Amino acid sequence: MPETLDLTADPVDLTAALVDVPSVSGDEQRIADLVERSLREQTSLEVVRSGNTVLARTDLGRERRVVLAGHLDTVPINDNHPSRREGEVLHGCGTVDMKGGDAVMLALAGTVDQPRHDLTFVFYDCEEVEAVRNGLGRIERELPEWLRGDLAIVCEPSNAVIEAGCQGTIRVEVRTKGVRAHTARGWMGVNAIHAMGEALRRLEEYRPRTVDIDGCAYREGLQAVGITGGVAGNVVPDECVLTVNHRFAPDRTPADAEAHLRELFDGYEVTVTDSSPGALPGLSAPAARELVEAAGGQPVAKLGWTDVARFAALGMPAVNFGPGDPTLAHTRQENVQVNEIRRCLEVLRRFVA
């Protein structure tokens, strides 16, 4: 591992250097040490360390503050480490999710001395695992002022296009009850699996909404993602559980989404097992408008959940903007087009400088 990163280097080389430092969730100390040391040695930013999260910021008294956030951890390596470059493509674990975005943030921190907005950089740990371990949650509890600003940019992969806001997500269990009996005398029981047929029919006939917010089309989804039931090969089952995941547009709250699902599955026992709110795009905010102008093109809706929702919950407009195709995240074939890394840095430099 290098002693330090050259924050003025080509951001593609910076990405490769980050990829070459393994940082599977829970094992981010080496990469956090490297990022912290590089920022302290090569910038005049205020730098703070919290666990394996590294924070840095300017304090220039600007009218607005922009928060840029990126996680340092990756999913487990899958025979895709270290990095390798083939022409205009960089391969390796984390190239997309999201060390390309981290490299863009580091290059911005190392090369823009007098930004027109105050900047906060958050390089955090444990994003790829259960939410309770997410470094942003710890920072929100212990150092909340470091997450405050007028716009948050989460540099998750977005094909170098601004993806505004994000969908909310809720998972529920739809449960039926029956009565056990021997299958040779099935009329003496009530089959809980058979009773789930109507719920599955409602799902099959369901037509999700597409909601336009700030010119971004949020396409909702409702899918069965699991079903369990059965006791033994000769027993009428007395319980069946259908797990359903609903991805909802950010004009709905988790409570709205829950009420919608309870109405859809009226007559069934419904239990919420997990939910997270979405994030409105907030593209009318002044700083967000400036970013859209710098990027050009048309922002699109984020069809999924990301940590922009955490910033939106703090009352900030938030967008995703980073290099890489998100459909390649977590795959063995993870790779990023090098021109996307350079484009993201170019856009953010134009925006802040």
Three-class secondary structure assignment of the chain:
CCCCCCCCCCHHHHHHHHHCCCCECCCCHHHHHHHHHHHHHHCCCEEEEECCEEEEECCCCCCCEEEEEEECCECCCCCCCCCEEECCEEECCCHHHHHHHHHHHHHHHHHCCCCCCEEEEEEECCCCCCHHHCHHHHHHHHCHHHHCCCEEEECCCCCCCCEECECEEEEEEEEEECECEEHHHHHHCECCCHHHHHHHHHHHHCCCCEEEECCEEEECEEEEEEEEECCCCCEECCEEEEEEEEEECCCCCHHHHHHHHHHHCCCCEEEEEEEECCECCCCCCHHHHHHHHHHCCCCEECCCCCCHHHHHCCCCCEEECCCCCHHHCCCCCCEEEHHHHHHHHHHHHHHHC
Q: Give the pLDDT confidence of 229-268 residue by residue, as tens digits.
A: 999 999 999 999 999 999 999 999 999 999 999 999 999 9
Average pLDDT over residues 172-183: 98
**Is-catalytic flag, 73?**
yes
- The whole-model pTM stands at 0.88
Active site residue 127: yes
Per the prediction, the chain carries an average pLDDT of 96
Q: What is the structure's pLDDT at 170?
A: 96
Residue 303 has pLDDT above 90, yes or no: no
Annotated catalytic residue: which of 28, 36, 73, 118? 73
Catalytic-role residue among 28, 102, 127, 258: 127
Comparing 3 with 25, which gets the higher pLDDT? 25
